[in-house]
């Protein structure tokens, strides 16, 4: 850790039982690894073990920590849509902190099949809120004060920006994809449980994450793997849509700060000043691959413009002033070095990528077109 960031143990303080939902996914996995590595907390990992789930990285950490750490990670293989199983899991975990990351997360899949997004992200969040509310009401006074339910959300709830401006906590909600609408609904439910039932909650709305262990269906792993294999690289529309890229470990820094130090009822926007057009991102990755992996022609020759994503949001950008000034967060990675490390990681982990794609019955093809 740098001197600006406290360790997970320091941030957790007296909280020693943490329930993480979605901890077998990309960002949840990074949260679980951090908690295991940097604290003594027992981590209950509630995940349905869907197509994007994988425990390889967590198992590696457990091996490195030795046998005495084995019991500190407890997988609860539960679908949030099963209210009874969720209630039992919360009872078993008896948490001091809940970090809710479980969600269907891929916009393209929400276009092809929106139903599971409503089930997991809306009904699933409702089931969790009901179970956690019961748990909170039964806690002794000494555990109530530090208790939080931290809901991890996205900048996509704010809609699409024009050429100027950035999202901040007061930006009105304007979701435009089935994914972002389902996340917006879950944000509203969390706020309602705070105002109506007094549940202590914190929300964060973050921009696009990148880094190792992301299921290879999103832009950065897709481009890296396709280019490395000499396949066409699909660039949606004119390639000028803008995303604000943040290294996943910087997001974990922000999540732990918000969960442990955030004010109840407050939301925090998280983003890394990493605005790039998709074309810039794709060309950067191609240039990095030219250096890392020899090919007859420059990798950028593989870029192909393909039909746009329906309802494709034009630009996202975050103003992280609140989390920076109130909680002292700032990103520790810049986009160019972060992308380079990530591209190298995917090149070195192509076996893992093939395995998880195969397990998920996903061939790497285009998702999310409307027929
Ligand atoms: P992911 O798809 O990699 O992982 C999500 C995990 O949630 C998976 O393991 C999945 O099995 C689990 N899950 C989904 N539905 C479930 C259900 N009904 N019951 C139990 N488990 C379920 O997603 P991610 O990229 O790690 O995103 C995690 C969270 O962060 C999501 O809530 C997402 O909306 C939010 N977020 C993601 C990004 C990003 O760039 N990836 C940015 C901002 C916010
Ligand atoms: O902004 C935060 C969101 O970022 C999270 O809430 C989502 O969970 C996460 O998936 C991500 O959503 P995006 O839709 O922005 O990410 P994706 O990687 O799918 O796409 C990034 C951009 O790249 C987007 O403008 C679409 C474009 N794209 C994507 C793919 C997969 C392409 O041009 N080609 C592709 O093959």
- The model's pTM: 0.98
At residue 310, the pLDDT reads 97
Starting from the CA of residue 251, give the closest ligand.
Answer: 1
Task: Tell me how far the alpha carbon of residue 146 lies from the centroid of ligand 1, in angstroms.
Answer: 25
List of domains in the chain: 16-215+246-273+316-332 (3.40.50.720)
Mean pLDDT, 10 residues at a time, the chain of 371 residues: 72 96 98 97 98 98 96 98 98 98 98 98 98 98 97 98 97 98 98 98 98 98 97 98 98 98 98 95 97 92 97 98 98 94 97 97 92 73
Q: Within 6 Å (CB) of ligand 1, which residues are found?
A: 22, 24-28, 47-50, 52-53, 79-81, 101-105, 120, 124, 152, 154, 183, 206, 208-209, 215
At residue 6, the pLDDT reads 87
Catalytic-labelled residue, pool 47, 54, 104, 155: 155
Q: Is 155 a catalytic residue?
A: yes
Catalytic-labelled residue, pool 179, 210, 247, 268: 179
3-state secondary structure the chain: CCCCCCCHHHHHCCCCEEEEECCCCHHHHHHHHHHHHHCCCEEEEEECCCCCCCCHHHHHHHHHHCHHHHHHEEEEECCCCCHHHHHHHHHHHCCCEEEECCCCCCHHHHHHCCHHHHHHHHHHHHHHHHHHHHHHHCCCHHHHCCCEEEEEEEHHHHCCCCCCCCECCCCCCCCCCHHHHHHHHHHHHHHHHHHHHCCCEEEEEECCEECCCCCCCCHHHHHHHHHHCCCCEEEECCCCCEEECEEHHHHHHHHHHHHHHCCCCEEEEECCCCEEEHHHHHHHHHHHHHHHCCCCCCHHHHEEEECCCCCCCCECCECCHHHHHHHCCCCCCCHHHHHHHHHHHHHHCHHHHHHHHHHCCCCCCCCCCCC
At residue 275, the pLDDT reads 97
At residue 4, the pLDDT reads 52
Task: Tell me how far the alpha carbon of residue 107 lies from the centroid of ligand 2, in angstroms.
Answer: 7
Task: Tell me how far the alpha carbon of residue 15 lies from the centroid of ligand 2, in angstroms.
Answer: 35
């Amino acid at each position: 850790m740098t001197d600006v960031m406290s360790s997970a143990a320091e941030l957790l303080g007296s909280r020693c039982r943490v329930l993480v939902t979605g901890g077998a996914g990309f960002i949840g996995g990074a949260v679980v690894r951090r908690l295991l590595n940097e604290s003594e907390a027992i981590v209950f990992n509630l995940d349905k073990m869907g197509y994007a789930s994988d425990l390889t990285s967590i198992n590696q950490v457990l091996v490195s920590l030795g046998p005495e750490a084995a019991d500190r990670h407890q997988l609860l293989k539960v679908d949030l849509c099963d209210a009874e199983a969720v209630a039992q899991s919360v009872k078993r975990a008896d948490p001091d902190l809940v970090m809710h990351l479980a969600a269907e997360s891929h916009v393209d899949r929400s276009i092809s099949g929106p139903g599971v997004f409503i089930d997991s992200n809306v009904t699933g969040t409702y089931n969790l809120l009901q179970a956690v509310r019961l748990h909170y009401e039964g806690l002794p006074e000494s555990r109530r004060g530090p208790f939080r339910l931290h809901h991890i959300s996205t900048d996509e709830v704010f809609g699409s920006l024009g050429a100027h401006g950035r999202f901040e906590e007061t930006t009105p909600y304007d979701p435009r994809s089935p994914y972002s609408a389902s996340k917006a609904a879950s944000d509203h439910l969390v706020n309602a449980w705070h105002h109506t039932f007094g549940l202590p909650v914190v929300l964060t709305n973050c921009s696009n994450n990148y880094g190792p262990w992301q299921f290879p269906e999103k832009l950065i792993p897709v481009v890296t793997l396709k280019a490395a294999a000499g396949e066409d690289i699909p660039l949606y529309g004119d390639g000028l849509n803008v995303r604000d890229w943040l290294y996943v470990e910087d997001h974990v820094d922000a999540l732990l700060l918000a969960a442990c130090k955030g004010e109840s009822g407050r939301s925090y926007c998280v983003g890394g000043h990493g605005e790039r057009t998709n074309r810039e991102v794709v060309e950067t990755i191609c240039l990095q691959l030219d250096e890392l992996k020899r090919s007859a022609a420059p990798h950028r020759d593989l870029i192909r413009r393909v039909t746009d994503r329906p309802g494709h949001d034009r630009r996202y950008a975050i103003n992280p002033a609140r989390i920076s000034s109130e909680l002292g967060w700032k990103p520790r990675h810049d986009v160019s070095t972060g992308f380079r490390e990530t591209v190298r990681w995917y090149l070195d982990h192509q076996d893992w990528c093939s395995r998880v794609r195969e397990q998920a019955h996903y061939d790497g093809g285009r998702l999310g077109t409307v027929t």
